[in-house]
Amino acid sequence: MTLIDHLPVLLVAGPIVASLLTLVAGWHDRRLCYPITLAAVLGEFAAAIVIFRQVMDGGTVRYYVGGWAPPMGIELVIDTFGGFILATIMLLALMTALYAFRSVKKEVPAEKTVSFYVIFQILLAGLIGMTITGDVFNLYVFLEISSIAAYTLISATRKPHSYVASYNYLVLGSIAAGFILLGIGNLYVATGTLNMAELAVMLPASYDLATVHAAFLFLIIGFSIKAAFFPLHLWLPDAYTESPSAVTVLIATVMAKVSVYALFRFLFSVFTMAYITESYPVTGVVLLIATIAIVAGAILAIAQDDLKRLLAYSSVSQIGYIMFAIGVANRIALEGGLLHILGHAVMKGCLFMVAGLIIYRTGTAQLSELGGIAREMPLTCAAFALAGASMIGIPPTIGFMSKYYLVLGAFEAGLWPYAAVLLVGSLLAAAYIWRFIEIAYFGGHHDEHHRTGGREGPASMLAPTIGLSLLCLLLGIFVAAPLETIGLAVAQLLGGT
C-alpha cells in the first residue's frame, strides 16, 4: 500500500492535524496561522483531485478505517458522485482560503483570528468527512462537527447581530441534527446496520415498516433544514448576512452543497429510487415545495435592501432548483440538479465574494448606499455581472446549462406547468440581479463627493472572485467535461450503489 491508498483518511485527518498545528503556531505568533491554513487547504485540494482522478479511472475507492471490513468497521467510500462533490467543495474551499486573508483581517477581531483559522480547518474536516463517509452514523458525527464549527464561525465578527444569527442557526441546526439522529436510529432498529451499502441491500425487505417511513421523513426534514429548503430556511438569511464575508462564502457554497449532497445520498443510495417513487411516494410533494421555493425565494430576494441578504434569499430559491431535480427524479433532471450543485456553488461563491469586497471597501452592503459603485470597482462589478448572468441562466454560462437540463427533464416527465415555473424563477432572478446592476452602473450620480477615487479591493480577494466568475463562463462553454462525470454519477445513483 502506498500513500495514495491512504488519501481518504488523510483527507479527514489532515485538516484536524492542521487545525492543531494552527493552534500551536498561533499561540507562538498569530501571523503564522494563515500560511499553515492555506498550505493545508492546498494539500487537501490536491488530495481531493488525486482521489477524484482515481475514482474516474478505477471506479469507487473504499477505505476501511482500522482495517475492519464494513459491517463491523467504518468505511470511507468515494464513488463518482462523492468524488465530484469532493472536488467541487475543495475548489471552493481553496478559493475561500485565498479570499479569506484580507477579509478576515478586516472583519474578524485580532484576538479571534487564531481560533478562526483553527475552526475553519475543523469545519473543512467535518464537511470532507460527510462527503466521503460510507457509514450513516459517521455522517451524523461529521455533520455535528461541521455544524458546531459553523455556529462558531458565524459569530466571529465585531457585530453583535452575528451572535443572534449564530444562536438561531444553533437552535434550528440542533433540531435538524436531532431529526437526523432519530432517523438514523430508526434505520438501525429496522436493519441492524449503519453501513450505507449494506442498508441499501437490507432496507427493501422492510420497505413497508412504519419505522422505515418515520426514519425517511425524519431524515428528509433534518437535511432540508440543514440545506435551507423552503420553508425550513429561516436560519439562513441572518446567518449568511451577519457572518464575516469569508465565512459567508464558505457556508453558502461548501456547507450548503454538502447538506444537499447528504440528502441525495440518503434518498438515492440508502433508500432507492423505487422507495421514493413507489413505496413512499414523496417526489410529488418535493416537486411542489421546490417550485414554491424557487418563486418565493426569488420574490423575497427582490424585496431586500441589503446585498448579502438579497443573495441569501437567492440561495433559498436556487436550493429549490436542486430539489426540483429530486422531485422530477428522472435521469436528465438529476443531471441538471447535480450540475446546478456545481454551478450554484461557483456562481454564488463569486457573488458573495463581490459582496464581501464591497463591504471591505465601503463598509456597507446597503443597496441604497452603493449607487455608482461600478465606477470605483469596475472589475468587481463586472465579476458580479458575469456570475449574475449565470444565476439568471443566460447562455453560454453554467447556470444556463443546468437550468436547461432541468427544463428538459421536466418536459420528459411531462410536467409542463412545472417547467414554466422554472422559467418564471429565471425571470425573477433577472429582477433581483438587475437591481444591483442598475444601482451599481447607473445609480447615484449625486453622492460622488464622499468617495475618494476608484479603488478595487485587494488583489488577493479580487483574484478568486474574478477566477470564479470566469469559471461560470468556462464551465458553461466546456460543459461536456463536468457532464461526463455527472452522467456516471447519476447512473450510479439511479442504479443504487
Partner 1 sequence: MRENVVIRTVVRLAVPFIQIFALYVIVHGASGAGGGFQGGVVFASSFILMTIAFDLAYTRRRIGSRGTMICSALGIAIFAGVGILCILYTGNFLEYGVIEAALGIPHLHGYLIDLVEAGIGITVMAVMTSIIYDMANRGGRSA
Pick 181 or 379: Cβ nearer partner 1? 181
Kindly provide the b/e burial profile for residues 124-160, where b requires at least 16 CB atoms within 10 angstroms of the residue's own CB. bbbbbbbbbbbbbbbbbebbbbbbbbbbbbbbbbeee
Pick 122 or 239: Cβ nearer partner 1? 122
Closest separation between CB of residue 119 and partner 1, Å? 13
Q: Work out whether 110 is an interface residue with partner 1 (CB under 8 A).
A: no
Pick 115 or 211: Cβ nearer partner 1? 115
Closest separation between CB of residue 6 and partner 1, Å? 5
Please give the residues from 111 up to 150 whose contact with partner 1 meets the rule CB under 8 A: 111-112, 115
Choosing from 28, 57, 58, 67, the residue that interacts with partner 1 (CB under 8 A) is 67
Window 6-25: contact mask with partner 1 (x via CB under 8 A): x--x---x--xx--x--xx-
Q: Work out whether 66 is an interface residue with partner 1 (CB under 8 A).
A: yes
Kindly provide the b/e burial profile for residues 409-429, where b requires at least 16 CB atoms within 10 angstroms of the residue's own CB. bbeebebeebbebbeebbebb
Window 21-60: contact mask with partner 1 (x via CB under 8 A): --xx--x---------------------------------
Closest separation between CB of residue 468 and partner 1, Å? 33
Pick 58 or 66: Cβ nearer partner 1? 66
Tell me how far apart the alpha carbons of residues 380 and 284 are, in angstroms, rounded to a whole number.
41
Pick 67 or 417: Cβ nearer partner 1? 67
Ramachandran region, residue 69 (left: φ > 0; alpha: ψ -120 to 50; beta: rest):
beta
Pick 56 or 65: Cβ nearer partner 1? 65
> For residue 31, what is its C-alpha cell?
501571523
What is the total count of residues that contact partner 1 (CB under 8 A)? 19
Tell me how far apart the alpha carbons of residues 225 and 329 are, in angstroms, rounded to a whole number.
21
Pick 159 or 375: Cβ nearer partner 1? 159
Closest separation between CB of residue 68 and partner 1, Å? 8
> For residue 133, what is its C-alpha cell?
463517509
DSSP H helical ranges for 192-244: 196-202, 210-227, 236-242
Helix (H) or strand (E) segment spanning residue 91: helix 80-107
Choosing from 34, 45, 52, 63, the residue that interacts with partner 1 (CB under 8 A) is 63
Closest CA to 344 of 360, 359, 328, 325: 325
Pick 13 or 50: Cβ nearer partner 1? 13
> For residue 60, what is its C-alpha cell?
469507487
Choosing from 30, 32, 64, 458, the residue that interacts with partner 1 (CB under 8 A) is 64
Closest separation between CB of residue 309 and partner 1, Å? 28
Residues belonging to the chain: 497
Closest CA to 170 of 221, 245, 225: 225
Residue 370 CA neighbour count, 13 Å, CB half: 30
Closest separation between CB of residue 18 and partner 1, Å? 10
> For residue 397, what is its C-alpha cell?
454560462
The residues near 363 (Cβ < 8 Å, ≥ 6 apart) are none
Residue type for 44, please? E
Closest separation between CB of residue 110 and partner 1, Å? 11
Closest separation between CB of residue 66 and partner 1, Å? 4
φ, ψ for residue 294, nearest 5 deg:
-60, -50
Give contact residues for partner 1 (rule: CB under 8 A): 1, 3, 6, 9, 13, 16-17, 20, 23-24, 27, 63-67, 111-112, 115
